Chains A and B, each alone.
Chain A
């Protein structure tokens, strides 16, 4: 065991090499003395304890190990980050990563947070869309239950409403995009986004 050069009682578990104007000095200190000398004050704070916590959660198999293996290879199409890289650095690469890794991320988010649904502030521009999408989710859930209970008449009514809402939303978005591009164009029947969507 090497003793701390400062107090000469504790074990020296910190090795500090300083290079000032090309002149190198080294010191072997215990954590306490290093802190007292302010060597640990600024640059040595462990910055990633939250991230460590959460990468260890990954290792502990919050996700099934087979699933982790498979998802490790998943890559975000927008920024190229792989899930394996994400679990190493603990940081996502872009907004699209949330969609690309959703399956594996969701249990992690649930574990860290109160739930996996945001209920707080929204950007003004997103508010309308979010309200619409959440209503849509509720209708879809109702539809699932109706189908399960074999109440087909009611289910058909819900399906039509969902279809109508979806195309409304798509039209709204296209309209908005065109407004942003400054090229107002007539919407046509061919723009119906829900073609082929059978649910």
Chain B
């Protein structure tokens, strides 16, 4: 994913997905292998070689390596469920990686768009476009009262989950984060860590998403999340200003040290790396460091993950080998960036 986008100094990415099921087939959890194959073929029939899908890549889960799957999960392009537990699961991904259609996930189709910065409306428009295309060719399971029917009752209705990845170092450093987390749950939003349900907040990164999918329109769900995000952005910005006024030297020191360690460390664990990237990002956003940009920082955030790292190295690596490989790959990315910008 490229860097930048609106509000990029706080919002790393926006992601929206719609869950859909095809009429006359049991949902994935009860489907036989033949039925999952039939679902796959139905979707292939209306997409393979078709005009609007020429720039899509088809990736059946059984044909790609465990490492490739892990890297796709780390880039949020597929779910861990699709990677590990789906029967005849596949990803249909637009070449720019911004749009993906997961087939035979928990629901037959999960149409997803992921964009850098705060761009929820745009992501929903992307999904709507492909949703309409698919719907014009096959019937979805739809109920006049409950809307789009899904395997899990928590997705029924719009089938829509909109989420935003936020970088909130100042709210966390100033201890205001808990107040903010409590307030979010009262407006129907949930907060999770970098890698979804049950993961903790590391590297000051939090994912906020809608809880409710039934009873509001898609525009209301996205509008609600967007407007709450604007308030969070404002609060984070205020907290950053306070920090900058009081602790400018400390923040600059932290950011430059982070850059130094990223450049010269010989061994790096992934959590440490995520924290360093966060420190550097804050320094860049506050104008204290100019040696990086959002695009590079986003790239680093992905390449340090175990799957992506091993894929870049071209082989499987044990934990200790990854600690050695990580700073090597970071250094290469930093050097490439310097070359491009000189």
Contact = CB atoms under 8 A, between A and B. Distances in A.
A80 B149 CA distance: 17
B70 A36 contact: no
A109 B146 contact: yes
B22 to A, nearest CB: 10
Interface residues of A, number: 49
Interface in A114-137: 114-126, 129-130, 133-134
Interface in B172-227: 188, 195-199, 211-218, 221
B187 to A, nearest CB: 11
B296 interface: no
A198 interface: no
A113 B196 contact: no
B26 A94 contact: yes
Interface in B133-154: 135-136, 139-154
A108 B153 CA distance: 8
B218 A45 contact: no
Contacts of A49: 197-198
A156 interface: no
B160 interface: yes
B198 A118 contact: no
Interface string B38-81: 00000000000000000000000000000000100100000011
Contact of B152 (A35, A50, A95, A134): A50
A95 B218 contact: no
A92 B214 contact: no
Contact of A123 (B140, B214, B221): B140
**Of listed A41, A93, A95, residue having the most chain B CB within 10 A:** A95
Contact of B217 (A78, A90, A93, A120): A120
B84 A112 contact: no
Interface in A86-122: 89-95, 98, 105, 108-109, 112-122
B5 interface: no
Interface residues of B, number: 60
A42 B269 CA distance: 15
Contact of A113 (B144, B151, B157): B157
Contacts of A134: 144
A46 interface: yes
Contacts of B141: 94-95
Contacts of A36: 269, 271
Given A109-B156, A129-B144, A134-B144, A119 B217 contact: yes
Contact of B27 (A37, A50, A92, A124): A92
A114 B214 contact: yes
A38 interface: yes
Contact of A105 (B147, B153, B211): B153
Contacts of A79: 26-27, 30
A114 B216 CA distance: 7
Interface string A22-41: 00000000000001111001
Given A118-B157, A118-B158, A46 B197 contact: yes
B146 A98 contact: yes
A15 interface: no
B152 A47 contact: no
A121 B217 contact: yes
Kindly list the 5 A-B residue pairs having the minimum CB-CB distance in the complex, ordered from nearest: A118-B147, A114-B215, A115-B215, A95-B141, A113-B214
24 contacts: A35-B271, A37-B319, A38-B269, A41-B195, A42-B70, A42-B80, A43-B84, A46-B197, A46-B198, A47-B80, A47-B198, A78-B26, A92-B27, A92-B152, A94-B27, A113-B157, A116-B145, A116-B146, A116-B215, A118-B144, A118-B158, A118-B214, A119-B216, A124-B136
Given A42-B70, A49-B198, 4 more contacts: A43-B84, A92-B149, A94-B141, A123-B142
Interface of B: 21, 23, 25-27, 29-30, 70, 73, 80-81, 84, 106, 128, 131-132, 135-136, 139-154, 156-158, 160, 188, 195-199, 211-218, 221, 269-271, 306-307, 319, 322
